[in-house]
Amino acid sequence: MNKLLATALLLFISLCLVAQNTKITFGEVPIEDIAMKVYPKDSTAEALVLYSFGETSFSFRNQTFYLTFKYHGRIKIFKKSGLDRATISIPYFKGDKALNDEYITQVKGFTYTLDNGNIVKERLAKEMIFNEKVTDNYHQIKFSHPKAVEGAVIEYAYEISTPMTVSQNPKTWYFQSDLPVKWSEYRINIPSVLYYRMIFSGYLPLHINDRESATSTRFAGESMGGTSYRLVIKDAPAFRNETHITTPIDYISKIDFELASINWPNVITKNYSLDYPSLNYTLIKEPSFGGMLQKNSFLKDIANKIKANHKDTISQWNAATTYIAQNIKWDKTNGIFPSNLKKVFEKKEGSSVDINFLLIALLRELDYDAHPLILSTRSNGSINPVYALLRKFNYVIAHVSHYGTDVLIDATDEFLKVGTIPKQCLSFNGWLVHPTHSRFVPLIPIESDKEFLKANLSILEEGELTGTITKSYSGYSGISTKNQFKELGEEKFLQETKKSKPAWVISKVDYKNTNVLESAMEASYQLTINDFTTVAGTLIYFKPMLSEGYSLNPFKESKRTYPVEFDAPIENTFLASYQLPKGYEIVELPQSISVSLPEGGGKFVFSSAQTENRITISSRLTLRKSSFLPEEYGQLKEFFDQLIAKHNEQIVLKKGN
């Protein structure tokens, strides 16, 4: 009996191993997949990726390496909202020469449905496949699966051939998508003459991680070694683009490749690998980078004027930054290689790298040791701290040192102070390109998102509120509000305020410091507010936080996989004084509370007080940290739960006898 059981167990294990290593056959879908009504692991999913399989191999012909990528996918559609998943677009590169083109071949597809328990199979016809031009260099193959309906399974496959003149690296493989993925598998066969860095990122564990070395394989007519990889993630949840993350690119489970070297004796030997010191040296010697900071004497007259009018270091930095920011308009594009700086200066418009290279050049004319600091913006994804991947950088700011302290400067925005960089640049670390002191530099915010509201209002017996509200914007909030005011002008800015505050009936407005760099912008309103109060007989109910309180918790999930990333620290202060209507007394007043996050991460203080016939309400939210780990999420969620509960409490007034 035991022997029989052992034999059965071995047979079962063998069958499982065979099943795990066998590719799914195109055109054969189990009836269970078509009959599936809902995905048990995610009942809300509009569709499910049943199978996502990719395989990359290499070839060498006509003195060129080619990468061939084969894809096979299946998607189960559950809901009407998922029907657009039946339309597939496959982008490809089209260069100026045929040798620089990608080619897509072997496109095929099926739609599977059930009719009285029988599988109905609809083929994707050739005339349903379209080739569309997207840009000069990018086209796409596009098709829609025929007769795709709720409950259908769609299946498709294709091959794409890419010459290394277009891309040296295999395409990024994403194990996750915005749909749940039941099985995601990637295979790659790399000949021994090529060496790639494989960079796995994300939060999901690999179900299969196999590596197999081949002692002899055929490549370009030769027999050589090679390595095959098989990577699988199963039951990947749909990637949710949660609130307060930098970019999905930083968190989604994927694998990237970076060509490090080609070592093919008598054919080609080349090293592509760059560590950070090598990258640093390359950029300094590169004519289109380090070379652009040579011979910029056209800035000398400006530097001399700054020296004549400003004597100390900080004021000279401020003057240089202000000059560039106010005279060179940012065209809203980024990069790390500038255009001809003199031409940009004459045109008075350029990219962020053009502008900040001009700033670096001007600071050098002022005899300061200014250098470029390269970084990746938040939306572009974080840089790899180990592998120096130049393609991951997309922004440059200026770096100077003040008594050993790093000072970062950006001149794309006239309202950025020296030392303050744009929110989009607050992405953990940047690399200082320097001949002797190159290194990583932390990109830490020195400003907060800071708003202060002061209200002095009288509660009328009819339920209206009348008086004044003054709102002050500083830090990053001041930067964005001043820019908005500059872009819209006073009249349109007021119109936008009225749109966002429909209960405000504004009779008079006064703006201060709308274009003053060092001072907070202020907006003062004389107004009547016809909301946030309810009159019920002799009772008046009103929400003292008006429209300024938090009403919904941005953190709804019970658990979180990814860190919480605020753009910057937060300081929000609300201070209101309410004059009670004559003859009314307080029945109910919110209690004062103080809530803190561990290790000084944040604090919420709310207080209420009565002095004769006046109520004072104070609310102060401070988040000193801008980044919270997943294990801190529960405390952060509870913190906001308490804040929101308090902000939504009411004051109850009653008319006396």
Q: What is the pLDDT of residues 552-596, one digit of tens each?
A: 999 999 999 899 999 999 999 999 999 999 999 999 999 999 999
Which pLDDT score is estimated for 76? Answer: 98
Distance between CA atoms of residues 538 and 37, nearest Å: 57
Which pLDDT score is estimated for 11? Answer: 36
Distance between CA atoms of residues 283 and 289, nearest Å: 6
Let me know if residue 5 belongs to a domain: no
Q: Using the CB atoms, write b or e for 512-529: b if 16+ within 10 Å.
A: ebeeebeebbbbbbebbb
Distance between CA atoms of residues 417 and 321, nearest Å: 8
Q: Classify the phi-psi angles of 304: left when phi > 0, otherwise alpha if psi is within -120 to 50, otherwise beta.
A: alpha
Side chain identity at residue 236, one-letter code: A
Let me know if residue 262 belongs to a domain: yes
Q: What angle do CA 643, 648, 652 make, to 5 degrees?
A: 130
* Domain extent at residue 407: 276-443
Which pLDDT score is estimated for 6? Answer: 38
Tell the residue number behind the tokens 């004084």, with chain if given.
Answer: 577
Based on the fold, state whether residues 392 and 485 are members of the same structural domain.
no
Let me know if residue 80 belongs to a domain: yes
> Where does a domain end: 424, 443, 462?
443
Q: For the purposes of burial, counting CB atoms within 10 Å of the CB of 373, is it exposed (0-12), middle (13-18) or buried (19 or more)?
A: buried
Query: What is the CATH number for 317?
Result: 3.10.620.30
Let me know if residue 6 belongs to a domain: no
Based on the fold, state whether residues 373 and 499 are members of the same structural domain.
no
Based on the fold, state whether residues 149 and 283 are members of the same structural domain.
no
What residues of the chain score a pLDDT lower than 70?
Answer: 1-22, 215-218, 220
CA distances from 143 to 86, 88, 124, 156 (A): 8, 6, 8, 10
Let me know if residue 57 belongs to a domain: yes
Q: What is the pLDDT of residues 290-343, one digit of tens each?
A: 999 998 999 999 999 999 999 999 999 999 999 999 999 999 999 999 999 999
Which pLDDT score is estimated for 12? Answer: 39
**Direct distance between the N- and C-terminal alpha carbons of the chain, in angstroms, rounded to an integer:** 93
Query: What is the CATH number for 470?
Result: 2.60.120.1130
The predicted model scores a pTM of 0.88
Based on the fold, state whether residues 398 and 420 are members of the same structural domain.
yes
Distance between CA atoms of residues 23 and 17, nearest Å: 12
Query: What is the CATH number for 101?
Result: 2.60.40.3140
Q: What is the largest CA-CA distance in the chain?
A: 104
Based on the fold, state whether residues 39 and 183 are members of the same structural domain.
yes
Q: Using the CB atoms, write b or e for 144-160: b if 16+ within 10 Å.
A: bbeebeebbbbbbbbeb
Based on the fold, state whether residues 453 and 574 are members of the same structural domain.
yes
Which pLDDT score is estimated for 430? Answer: 98
Based on the fold, state whether residues 579 and 609 are members of the same structural domain.
yes
Which pLDDT score is estimated for 78? Answer: 98
Which pLDDT score is estimated for 7? Answer: 37
Distance between CA atoms of residues 417 and 369, nearest Å: 19
> Where does a domain end: 443, 466, 489?
443
Overall domain count for the chain = 3
Based on the fold, state whether residues 495 and 629 are members of the same structural domain.
yes
Whether the CB-CB separation of 158 and 107 falls below 8 Å is answered with yes
Q: For the purposes of burial, counting CB atoms within 10 Å of the CB of 631, is it exposed (0-12), middle (13-18) or buried (19 or more)?
A: exposed
> Where does a domain end: 236, 270, 304?
270
Let me know if residue 195 belongs to a domain: yes
Count Cα neighbours of 5 within 13 Å in the Cβ-side half-sphere: 2
Which pLDDT score is estimated for 21? Answer: 57
CB-CB neighbours of 228 under 10 Å = 16
Which pLDDT score is estimated for 1? Answer: 38
- Distance from the Cα of residue 450 to its chain's centroid: 22
Based on the fold, state whether residues 422 and 353 are members of the same structural domain.
yes
What DSSP line would sit under 407-418, residue for residue? EEE--S-TTPPT
Whether the CB-CB separation of 623 and 592 falls below 8 Å is answered with no
What are the phi and psi torsion angles at 532 (to 5°)?
75, 5
Based on the fold, state whether residues 45 and 124 are members of the same structural domain.
yes
Strands (E), 385-479: 395-402, 405-409, 428-432, 439-443, 449-459, 465-474
Whether the CB-CB separation of 164 and 64 falls below 8 Å is answered with yes
Based on the fold, state whether residues 238 and 281 are members of the same structural domain.
no
Three-class DSSP category at 224: strand
CB-CB neighbours of 656 under 10 Å = 8
Which pLDDT score is estimated for 22? Answer: 61
Q: What is the pLDDT of residues 188-222, one digit of tens each?
A: 999 999 999 999 999 999 999 999 987 656 676 77
Let me know if residue 403 belongs to a domain: yes
SS3 for 11-49 is: HHHHHHHHHHHCCCCCCCCCHHHHHCCCCCCCCCCCEEE
Based on the fold, state whether residues 364 and 432 are members of the same structural domain.
yes
Let me know if residue 643 belongs to a domain: yes
